[in-house]
A = this chain, B = another copy of it.
Amino acid sequence: MLTTIADLRSFTASQHRAGKTVGLVPTMGALHSGHLSLVRESNKRCGTTVVSIFVNPAQFAPNEDFQRYPRTLENDLLLLQKDGCTPNGKTEVFVPEISEMYPRGFDTSVHTGSISQVLEGRSRPAHFQGVATVVLKLFLASQADTAFFGQKDYQQVCVIRRITADLNVPLEIVMCPIIREPDGLAMSSRNRYLTAAQRQQAVVLSQSLQLAETMLRSGTADSAAVQKAVTEKIQTAPEAVIDYVSIADPITLQELPAVESEAVILLAVRFGTTRLLDNLHYVL
């Protein structure tokens, strides 16, 4: 396990000297099958994988769940070991302290414009600035060749693609499919916050996305009609409070009045104090 940026950089340099490419899987820990699918994809494509585990305070607002966000390092390391972790040499783990990532005097941030102002950006104004800054730090600290992110946080991937392209970071971004529970709920470290009743109701998210896809495939092009059907489906869950249901351009995330060949349907729904995301990329 690496804990300093200096050690992380030496590790990557040694891998590069040995002719291996390095894949990076940035996580906040509390690992589940979704994260492990990213590690597997990285192990498939790259010579070595670095999994970073860092609950990044900069991407939480003061009223959010930074304090209670699940920290399960021991279990995370066990899961990674099963999936091909150190000392097998295939995967290394980077677990920095907050003071290693944000030393005294730290005073820089990375911003994206329109893409970070919609959807999650509207509900969580400083969120993507925190994400963009820490992810860029991880990219540059690790000197990885490829980084792997889950589609579950679709807008996050768009923001990271934007800064990577705009700042000429020499690194490829790979977006991996959403991993779901057997009943369809998208895996998330925050699912464990749900009560048993909320957990049952939360299945409406993926069900409403399936409904949207069926409508689009059967020729409904009008976004408002799809949005209405999705909203009504979610509202069948008694505790669901919708934050947004958006039918948007897959690159810019700007709302589409009508769906021609491609769209993303993005949802954010609260159950009590827990906020869940899901999305579906529709291609004709």
A143 close to B170 (CB less than 8 A): yes
Q: Does A141 contact B (CB under 8 A)?
A: yes
Q: Does A270 contact B (CB under 8 A)?
A: no
B170 close to A137 (CB less than 8 A): no
Return A27 CB to nearest CB of chain B, in Å.
Answer: 18
Instruction: Give the contacting residue for A108; candidates B107, B108, B111, B141; CB below 8 A.
Output: B111
How many chain copies does the complex carry?
A: 2
CB contact list, A114-160 vs B, under 8 A: 114-115, 132-133, 136-137, 140-141, 143
Q: Does A77 contact B (CB under 8 A)?
A: no
- The docked-state distance in angstroms from the alpha carbon of A163 to that of B140 is 12
Known: A5-B168, A9-B170, A168-B5. A108 touches B140 (CB 8 A): no
Q: Does A74 contact B (CB under 8 A)?
A: no
Query: Nearest B residue to A13 by beta-carbon distance?
Result: B170
- The docked-state distance in angstroms from the alpha carbon of A163 to that of B111 is 13
- On chain B, the residues within 8 Å of A113 by CB distance are 107-109
Interface extent on A, as a size class? 20 to 34
- The docked-state distance in angstroms from the alpha carbon of A107 to that of B143 is 23
B169 close to A140 (CB less than 8 A): yes
CB contact list, A162-195 vs B, under 8 A: 162-163, 166-170
- On chain B, the residues within 8 Å of A167 by CB distance are 108, 110, 133, 136-137, 140
- The docked-state distance in angstroms from the alpha carbon of A108 to that of B167 is 8
Return A97 CB to nearest CB of chain B, in Å.
Answer: 15
- The docked-state distance in angstroms from the alpha carbon of A9 to that of B115 is 28
The residue among A108, A110, A170 with the most chain B CB atoms within 10 A of its own CB is: A108
- On chain B, the residues within 8 Å of A137 by CB distance are 166-168
A166 close to B107 (CB less than 8 A): yes
Return A269 CB to nearest CB of chain B, in Å.
Answer: 28
Q: Does A14 contact B (CB under 8 A)?
A: no
B5 close to A107 (CB less than 8 A): no
